[in-house]
Amino acid sequence: DQQVKQNSPSLSVQEGRISILNCDYTNSMFDYFLWYKKYPAEGPTFLISISSIKDKNEDGRFTVFLNKSAKHLSLHIVPSQPGDSAVYFCAARLGTSGSRLTFGEGTQLTVNP
């Protein structure tokens, strides 16, 4: 049972435009959502998070939106840069599970110069 899903394996955008990465979840008990970025041959690095009691969190070029009624979150990157090309993972935490995270499959973002 895949509780966190990223339905788009890949996304390609032009430099300077907006990148929108999507994530859907099924468990309404998730209390925190996180985005990680991963370059080849490296471990994932934390990018941005959002609590389930909020609907938006912004950090520089990165904004995460949460729609609880739709069980959907998205990561917006504006403007996109070639260095943003990486795999992006969505992750969610169950409120009762300490720091256990459930990850989506990942989306490969390619930003073309």
Partner 1 sequence: NAGVTQTPKFQVLKTGQSMTLQCAQDMNHEYMSWYRQDPGMGLRLIHYSVGAGITDQGEVPNGYNVSRSTTEDFPLRLLSAAPSQTSVYFCASTTGTGPARGQFFGPGTRLTVL
Interacting residues with partner 1 (CB under 8 A): 4, 6, 9, 32, 34, 36, 41-46, 49, 51, 89, 91, 93, 98-106
As given in the structure block, the two tokens for residue 65 are: 């939106």
Rounded Cα gap, residues 69 and 21, in angstroms: 18
Q: How far, in Å, CA of 104 to CA of 31, rounded?
A: 16
Q: How far is the CB of 13 from partner 1 (least distance, A)?
A: 22
One-letter amino acid at 48 equals: I
Give the residue with the Cβ less far from partner 1, 10 or 112.
Answer: 10
Contacts of residue 34, defined as CB under 8 A and 6 or more positions apart, other chains included, come to 46, 47, 48, 49, 50, 90, 91, 92, 93, 101
We find the least distance from the C-beta atom of residue 112 to partner 1, in angstroms, to be 23
- Residue 77 vs 104, nearer CB to partner 1: 104
Query: Would you say 62 or 103 has its CB closer to partner 1?
Result: 103
Extract the tokens encoding 95.
Answer: 């409120």
Q: How far is the CB of 16 from partner 1 (least distance, A)?
A: 28
CB-wise, 20 or 48, nearer to partner 1? 48
